[in-house]
Amino acid sequence: MALLDGLRVLDLTMWRPGPYATQLLAQLGADVIKVEPPGGEPMRMFGGHFELLNQYKRSIVLNLKDQRDRARCLELARDADVFVEGYRPGVADRLGVGYDAAGRGNARLVYCSLSGYGAYGDLADVPGHDVNYRAYTGALPPDAVSPEADELPVADMGAATMAAFAITAAVLKARETGQGDRIDLGMADVLANWVGTVPAATVRNAGTGPLPGYGVYPAKDGLITIGVVSEQHLWAATCRALGLPEHADVPFLDRLGRVRELDAEIAAAVAPLTREEAVRRLTEAGAPVAPALTRDEMMELPHFRQRGVIAEGTVGSPVRTMIHPPLPPGPIAGLDAHHGEGWSG
C-alpha cells in the first residue's frame, strides 16, 4: 500500500512540469491516466526524457477536437479525483475540457491548471519557458549567461513539485468536505515566491561568495563547494583542514569585514589539491563540503542509491516514508496501451 493508493488522476499535460507533477503522485500510488493527442505526446521523441517523467502511468489517446473523444475524457473526469492540464490559459475551455466542463457532475474534483504565468494577470497570455520565468522573477543573477541544454530547469521542477503539494492538500480538503477546487498555478509564481522570501543582496563581492568559505572553489581537477555561514566551528574546521590555522578563531563579525581577503586564502589553499583530496580533508575535519558532480557522477553516488532516490539506473521517488513507501522505478506505458480502460483498469 502506497500513500496515494486509490487516488485517480487524469493527466492532460505534456513536456516537463505537468508530467513531473503527476509522476510524483504516481510514485506514491496514484492511478494516473495520461491522455495523449493522436501521435502521442511530443516528448515521446526524446525517450530518455519521457521515460523519466512518465512511470506508472496508463496511456490513452484522445483527440479532444473530436466530439466522441472529448466526451470520453469528460466521462473519465466524472469519476476522477484530480484533473491536471498544462495548456495556455483559455485553451482547455476552447477544447471543452475546462474547469466547468470537467467538474460537471463531480463536485469533489480537484482541477489543476499549470501554466507559465497563471490564468490571469498582465502576463497571462505571454508565452515563455524556464529562462523567461527566471528573468521575470529576479531569479537570474546579474552576470547570467545563456543556460546550457542540460541546465536544471528550476521553474519547471519547482512548479511541478508545488503542484503536487497543492493537489494533495486540495484532495485532503475535498475528502473532508465533498467540495473540490480549482488550482491556478503559474510557474513564475513559484519562483517569485521563492525569490521574495530571500532578502535582496546589498553587496556583491566580484566573484567571491557572500561570506568567506561559502561558494564554489576550483581544485586542481574540478570544482568543490564549501558552505560556511556564521557557525564558528565550521569556519574553524575549514581553516584547519586547509592549513590556515591562523584564521580559525576569526569571529563571524570580523569575517564579514574581510570577505575578499579571507575567501582568497581559502581559494588559494584549495587550488593545488585534487577534488578528491580537498573533499576528503574537509570532510574528515567536519567542514561543510561537497564536490560539484556531473549528472553521471551523481547517478553513481552511493548515498542516493542507499536512499532509493536513484535506483536501477534510473530515478526513484524523492519521498521517503516508513509505513507506506513510494513505488520503485516502474513501467512506461506504450502509446494508447490502455485504450478503452476505465479507472478499474
Q: What's the predicted TM-score (pTM) here?
A: 0.83
Task: Give the per-residue SS3 of 284-312.
Answer: HHCCCEEECCCHHHHHHCHHHHHHCCEEC
Of 89, 144, 79, 80, nearest in space to 113 by CA = 89
Task: Give the per-residue SS3 of 117-156.
Answer: CCCCCCCCCCCCCHHHHHHHCCCCCCCCCCCCCCCCCHHH
DSSP 61: E
Question: What confidence tens digit (pLDDT) does each residue in 22-79 have?
Answer: 999 999 999 999 999 999 999 999 888 899 999 999 999 999 999 999 999 999 999 9
Burial of 243 (0-12, 13-18, 19+ CB in 10 A): exposed
pLDDT of 280 > 60? The answer is yes
Q: Where in the chain is the domain with CATH 3.40.50.10540?
A: 8-197
Average pLDDT value for residue range 290-304 = 86
Average pLDDT value for residue range 337-343 = 90
Question: What confidence tens digit (pLDDT) does each residue in 92-142 have?
Answer: 999 999 999 999 999 999 999 999 999 989 889 988 999 889 888 888 877
pLDDT of 340 > 90? The answer is no
Q: Do 310 and 316 form a contact (C-beta atoms < 8 A)?
A: yes
Q: Where in the chain is the domain with CATH 3.30.1540.10?
A: 214-292
Of 103, 83, 78, nearest in space to 33 by CA = 83
- Reported as half-sphere exposure (CB side, CA atoms, 13 A), residue 189 has a value of 21
Average pLDDT value for residue range 260-276 = 95
Q: Which range (144-148, 198-202, 223-227) has the least confidence?
A: 198-202
**What is the CATH T-level fold of the domain 8-197, as seen in this structure?**
Rossmann fold (3.40.50)
**Number of residues that make up the chain:** 345
Question: What confidence tens digit (pLDDT) does each residue in 190-209 have?
Answer: 998 888 887 765 555 555 66
* Helical (H) or strand (E) element with 222: strand 222-227
SS3 34: strand
Domain 214-292 superfamily per CATH = formyl-coa transferase, domain 3 (3.30.1540.10)
pLDDT of 211 > 90? The answer is no
pLDDT at 136: 86
196-to-33, 70, 139 alpha-carbon distances in Å: 36, 41, 10
Question: What confidence tens digit (pLDDT) does each residue in 158-194 have?
Answer: 999 999 999 999 999 999 999 999 999 999 999 988 8
